[in-house]
Amino acid sequence: MKLDALIIGAGPAGCTAAIYLARAGYSTLLLGSTPPGGQLLHTNEIENFPGFPEPLSGAELMMQMHKQCAGLKVPLSAEKAASVDLSANPFKTTASDGTVYESRTLIVATGATARWLNIESENRLRNKGVSACATCDGFFYRGKTVCVIGGGDSALGDAMFLSRFAASVKLIHRRDKLRACAALTAKAQSNPKISFVWDSTVEEILGGETVSGLRLKNVKTGQVSDLACNGVFLAIGHDPASELFDGKLDLDKEGYISVHDHTHTSVPGVFACGDVADPRYKQAVCAAGSGCMAALDARDYLNRL
Ligand code: NAP
């Protein structure tokens, strides 16, 4: 299939790029994954996306964006990109079902994925009480005690969400200062179900068939103690989904795609937008904005070809 633009990733960045390119009359295809929508699919409540004064879930927001793309006749494939060949234009992208897409421009909007502690007990108890998605699994902890690991906006957002179901939520943070914004911090600190365990790292997740607790180490005193809980939710940040482009595009030391002049990558005709190229802001609205910029940069490139 020959296209003006192939967009890899169907989150806010990819969808916005698709909307702009389709409205400009360019043949465009969105390659998502199953289900398409990226990290927002795991976001419980969004209150800061302009135009939506009432809180809505990330899944609802993504549904609206996909509907807008469908209205503009942008095909959305639920296949992942398996490999890319950027050595010549048109670029060739092979999807996981074997379909090869040729495109004059490529927009990378693959986002980022949740980070794990990578300790043995976490791997063993994953999906048996260990999760990186409070939205997906919080429901199962009605009346239970759960721990959230991390001190950023995700951790506090997850703790707030979990407090709707759980009897008690303990937030474990490796420092004594939160990274999260002041508004979320104030909300979480005034929630009677949420308590904080400071200066502590997870030595081990305890449990046989399911999680029964955490072994924590106080990084200031060195003291090791056990904390009983039924579930553990990781919220310790994300890694950019850029493996496909390793060795093909310039990446920074953390694996984010390096961009210059806003969305241009090291290969002319390939543009990057959203969290895969954003180690700093990581907001849905920023992703959408950078998707627009990538589309306009791709349009200028196509006009020059
Ligand atoms: P983040 O801001 O990078 O925070 C990650 C947290 O996990 C930090 O507190 C960090 O500790 C801790 N951490 C990292 N690695 C760890 C490890 N190995 N063990 C223990 N703790 C570890 O990630 P995020 O909270 O996912 O947020 C990412 C971006 O999305 C941010 O810009 C955030 O503002 C944004 N976001 C916004 C919203 C919203 O607007 N509603 C919601 C969610 C996320 P340190 O603090 O010590 O580094």
* Atom of ligand 1 minimally distant from the CA of 155: 25
157 lines ligand 1 (CB under 6 A): yes
Contact 59, 44 (CB under 8 A): no
Omega within 30 of 0 (cis) for the link into 268? no
pLDDT in tens, the chain (305 residues): 799 999 999 999 999 999 999 999 999 999 987 677 787 876 767 888 999 999 888 899 999 999 999 999 999 998 999 999 999 999 999 999 999 999 999 999 999 988 999 999 999 999 899 998 887 789 899 999 999 999 999 899 999 999 999 999 999 999 999 999 999 999 999 999 999 999 999 999 999 999 999 999 999 999 999 999 999 999 998 899 999 999 999 999 999 999 999 999 999 999 999 999 998 887 899 999 999 999 999 999 999 98
Catalytic residue among 85, 136, 226, 252: 136
Residue 48 near ligand 1, beta carbon < 6 Å: yes
In a 3-state reduction of DSSP, which class is residue 258? coil
pLDDT at 283: 85
Q: Which atom of ligand 1 is nearest to the CA of 46?
A: 41
Q: How far is the CA of 130 from the centre of ligand 1 (A)?
A: 18
Residue 268 and residue 105 in contact, taking contact as beta carbons nearer than 8 Å: no
Whether 292 is catalytic is no
DSSP 79: P
Q: Enter the DSSP assignment of 246.
A: B
Annotation says 137 is catalytic: yes
The CA distance from 288 to 51, in Å, is: 13
Atom 2 in ligand 1: which residue has the minimum CA distance?
Answer: 152
Measured CA to CA, the distance from residue 119 to residue 203 in angstroms comes to 8
Q: What is the pLDDT of residue 184?
A: 93
Q: Is 147 considered catalytic here?
A: no
Task: Give distance in angstroms: CA of 3 to centre of ligand 1.
Answer: 37
Q: Judge whether 111 and 13 are in contact, CB under 8 Å.
A: yes
- Ligand 1 centroid to Cα of residue 80, in Å, is 26
How far apart (Å, rounded) are the C-alpha atoms in residues 291 and 33?
18
Atom of ligand 1 nearest to the CA of 236: 7
The confidence score (pLDDT) of residue 130 equals: 94
Q: Is 122 in the pocket of ligand 1 (CB under 6 A)?
A: no
What's the 253 CA to ligand 1 centre distance in angstroms?
Answer: 18
Q: What is the pLDDT of residue 34?
A: 67
- What is the 197 CA–ligand 1 centroid distance (Å)? 16
Burial (CB < 10 A; 0-12, 13-18, 19+), residue 281, is: exposed
Q: Whose C-alpha lies nearest to ligand 1, atom 23? A: 237
Cβ of 210 closer than 6 Å to ligand 1, yes or no, is: no
How far apart are alpha carbons 273 and 40 in whole angstroms? Answer: 16
- State how far the Cα of 259 lies from the Cα of 292, in Å rounded to an integer: 15
C-beta of 154 in contact with ligand 1 (< 6 A): yes
Task: Give residue 179 CA to ligand 1 midpoint distance, Å.
Answer: 7
| Alpha-carbon dihedral sign for residues 255, 257, 259, 262 | negative
Catalytic residue, from 4, 69, 137, 273: name it: 137
Q: Residue 194: what residue type?
A: I
Number of the ligand 1 atom closest to the C-alpha atom of 47: 41
Q: Are 250 and 148 in contact (CB under 8 A)?
A: no
Tell me 76's DSSP state: E
What pLDDT is stored for residue 291 in this prediction?
Answer: 98
Q: Which residue has the tokens 């951790």?
A: 155
